[in-house]
Structure 1
Amino acid sequence: MNASVPNENAELALSPEEQARQKAWLEDGHQLFAKSVTFMLSVVSMDSLPNPDLPEVCFAGRSNVGKSTLINALTNQNKLAKASNTPGRTRELNYFNVSDRLRLVDLPGFGYARASKTDIEKWTKLTRKFLRGRAPLRRVFLLIDSRHGFKDSDIEVMSMLDETAVIYQIVLTKIDKIKPPAVAKLMKNVKKRIAKRPAAYPNVIATSSEKKTGIEELRAEIAALALPL
């Protein structure tokens, strides 16, 4: 639903029917995250992945892009995911149970990290294997820091997902750190760059974990991929 882009839809006049659908869509997201989201396990090898009996979504992005902080904002739990200013803090695939209807996975960041070369290569290899071959994975939410835009590592991951036909959706983070005109310009640029990519989901979500911007919309997008109530 196009309502997932608050910046874009603020200027649109919705019909009563569209307003009703948007309200129901957002309510589904609210209901999914109304119960406590719980940490399940940390995975360091593909052999340790949980049974593929629930749909999964994952958060991917460069180190320090704000994955863990965004998960905490989504779940209304300040310390559920371990957030840090140190790049490379997340070094495993961290699984969270969302109302027994879906699993959310926090992936290790790619790109620069304050860790040994061996460790970086190990978790990068694990992440790529997961993204290429995890059957219950319904969508990759690829986080992009709004202050920096796309980097080469982002493009590389997008190309890999295009090749393997894994659907991914761009989520801009930290939009409170730039001015509104810059957000609008970035949104336009991102949509243009993903328009012809075969596995890219067309709707872009602009978020701020600090200001809670876009959080309801992201919850609704995730709820649409969960098992029904």
Structure 2
Amino acid sequence: MDDELEYSDADIEAGRLLFAKPWDFVTSTAEIGQLPPTGPIEIAFAGRSNVGKSSLINALTGRKGLARTSNTPGRTQMLNFFAPPEATIAITDMPGYGYAEAPKGMVDAWTDLVFAYLKGRPSLARVFLLIDARHGIKKNDEEAMTTLDKAAVNYQIVLTKADKIKPPAVAKLKEETAKKIARRPAAHPVILATSSEKGWGIAELKAEVSRLVAILGG
């Protein structure tokens, strides 16, 4: 895949080593006051319900059951934190959005929690915003990007399930997505295409995270 052109062999190896550690579940919280103490650099994964967040986290960490996966959208209802021992980095799995069948009060509570986390977490370095390659950017994805822009939180688009469409369609989608985010102030310009099932783009995503940790002194 053309993402490989963005990363050197050294970048790929650094990413492999970063995620070769034994990652574990740390905690879950539904209230902002229960967040774990700030310390390691945090990267968060966000996206529509059923976009494949849990599968991608499991693929990154090499732990098949670390983040729970389900065919039922909206299963992740809290902020879930994962980290390796003596961590220089931690992962936050954020509640999925766009789950219309959840009660409004529950959706509002998730929304408030996510906004509070985004705006008030000093250790949060980047949000990886997952977009299903079969569908592209939808209205609530645009709303999520607007929220991140307003919160001045750096975010990067990661296309998931890229194996479900043809390679030329992936390339076209990346071009279209780049145009859509070009004027968004908090958007990272590099778009990654991944498949948790096939392993596509996982090494490049690890390399991107490793670069971020190196820049921030982790």
Interval of TM-score (by shorter of Structure 1 and Structure 2):
over 0.9
1:151-162 alignment runs, 5 A limit: 151-162=138-149
> Which residue is 2:82 aligned to?
96
Match of 1:34 among 10, 17, 20: 20
> Which residue is 1:141 aligned to?
128
> Which residue is 1:13 aligned to?
none
Q: Write out per-residue CA displacement over residues 182-221 of structure 1, whole angstroms, 9 at most, x where no aligned residue.
A: 1111011011111111110010000000000000011111
1:16-27 alignment runs, 5 A limit: 22-27=8-13
Q: Give the TM-score taking structure 1 as reference length.
A: 0.89
> Which residue is 2:34 aligned to?
48
3-state SS, counterpart of residue 144 of structure 1:
strand
Q: Give the TM-score taking structure 2 as reference length.
A: 0.93
Q: C-alpha separation between the residues in 2 aligned to 1:153 and 1:40? A: 29
> Which residue is 2:183 aligned to?
196
Would the aligned equivalents of 2:3 and 2:201 in 1 still touch at CA under 8 Å? no
Say if 1:210 and 1:127 are closer, same or farther in 2 by CA, change over 3 A.
same
Q: C-alpha separation between the residues in 2 aligned to 1:8 and 1:223? A: 15
Match of 2:48 among 42, 59, 62: 62
Q: How far 1:43 moved relative to its partner?
A: 1.0
Q: How far 1:46 moved relative to its partner?
A: 0.8
- Unaligned residue ranges in structure 2 (runs of 5+): none
Q: Write out per-residue CA displacement over residues 15-65 of structure 1, whole angstroms, 9 at most, x where no aligned residue.
A: xxx9xx711111110111111111000011110111111110000001000
Q: CA RMSD in A?
A: 1.7
Q: Write out per-residue CA displacement over residues 79-129 of structure 1, whole angstroms, 9 at most, x where no aligned residue.
A: 000001100000000000135111100000011254322222211211121
> Which residue is 2:161 aligned to?
174
Would the aligned equivalents of 2:154 and 2:186 in 1 still touch at CA under 8 Å? yes
Say if 1:179 and 1:51 are closer, same or farther in 2 by CA, change over 3 A.
same
3-state SS, counterpart of residue 196 of structure 2:
coil
> Which residue is 1:72 aligned to?
58
Percent identity, aligned pairs only? 53
Q: C-alpha separation between the residues in 2 aligned to 1:97 and 1:122? A: 25
Would the aligned equivalents of 1:7 and 1:206 in 2 still touch at CA under 8 Å? no
> Which residue is 1:184 aligned to?
171
Say if 1:29 and 1:70 are closer, same or farther in 2 by CA, change over 3 A.
same
Q: Does 1:7 align with 2:16?
A: no
- Unaligned residue ranges in structure 1 (runs of 5+): 1-5, 11-17
Runs of 4+ with >6 A deviation: none
> Which residue is 1:205 aligned to?
192
Say if 1:9 and 1:221 are closer, same or farther in 2 by CA, change over 3 A.
closer
Would the aligned equivalents of 1:87 and 1:114 in 2 still touch at CA under 8 Å? no
Q: How far 1:77 moved relative to its partner?
A: 1.1
> Which residue is 1:15 aligned to?
none
Figure out how many residues of one structure are paired with residues of the other and give that number. 215
Q: C-alpha separation between the residues in 2 aligned to 1:75 and 1:110? A: 23
